[in-house]
Amino acid sequence: MNLLIIGDDPKFIGGVTNYTRPLAQKLAASGVNVHYLFNSSRNQKYDFGPMRIEEFDQDGVKYHWLMNGRGMVYNYDDLGLDSGTWFDELFTKLVSDHNIDVIHINEIFGFSSNLIHIAKSRGIKVAVTVHEYWWLCPHRVMVDHDRKVCEGPTDMKKCVHCVSQRAQGYKPAVKRFQYRLRNAFPSVYTPIVSKIKGMKKNYYKLVELNTSETSNIIATDKSLERQLENRFSALIGALNACDRVICVSSDVKNILTRFGVKRSVCTVDHIGSEIAERDWELRTDWKPRERLSFGFIGGITYYKGVHLIVQAYMLLPENLKARATIDIYGGGDQGYVQSMKNLLERGAKIDMENIRFHGRYTPDQLPAIGESIDVSILPSMCADTAPQTIFESFSSGLPIIAPDIGGFSDFIKHDVNGLIFNYGNPQSLADAMAKLIEHPELVSAMCTQIEPSKAMSAHVQDMKNVYQEMSAA
Query: For 28-80, what is each residue's pLDDT tens digit?
Result: 999 999 999 999 998 899 999 999 999 999 999 999 999 999 999 999 999 99
Does an H or E element contain 53, and which? strand 52-58
Select the highest-mean-pLDDT range: 168-182, 198-212, 238-252, 324-338.
Answer: 238-252
Fold of 278-447: Rossmann fold (3.40.50)
Q: Where do the DSSP E strands lie in 254-354?
A: 266-268, 292-297, 324-329
Which pLDDT tens digit goes with each residue over 176-222? 888 898 898 888 767 766 665 555 444 455 566 665 444 444 556 89
- At 70 the pLDDT is 95
- At 215 the pLDDT is 45
Q: Which residues of 281-319 are buried (b: 16+ CB within 10 A; e: fewer)?
A: eebeebeeeeebbbbbbbbbbbbbbbbbbbbbbbbbeee
277 vs 167: which has the higher pLDDT = 167
- What integer is the mean pLDDT of 288-302? 91
Indicate the pTM of the whole model: 0.89
In the chain, domain spans? 2-168+209-272+457-472, 278-447
- At 27 the pLDDT is 98
CATH numeric code, 2-168+209-272+457-472: 3.40.50.2000
- In this structure, are residues 175 and 72 in contact, taking their beta carbons and an 8 Å threshold? yes
- At 306 the pLDDT is 95
Q: Is the pLDDT score of 279 beyond 70?
A: no
Same CATH fold, 278-447 and 2-168+209-272+457-472? yes
The C-alpha atoms of residue 33 and residue 27 are separated, in whole angstroms, by 8
- What integer is the mean pLDDT of 367-396? 90
The C-alpha atoms of residue 265 and residue 247 are separated, in whole angstroms, by 10
- At 276 the pLDDT is 79
Alpha helices per DSSP H over 122-212? 156-166, 172-184, 186-198
> Crossing angle for the helix pair 426-438 and 440-447, nearest 10 degrees?
90
Q: For residue 280, list its beta bridge partners.
A: none
Q: Is 204 exposed, middle or buried (0-12, 13-18, 19+ CB in 10 A)?
A: middle
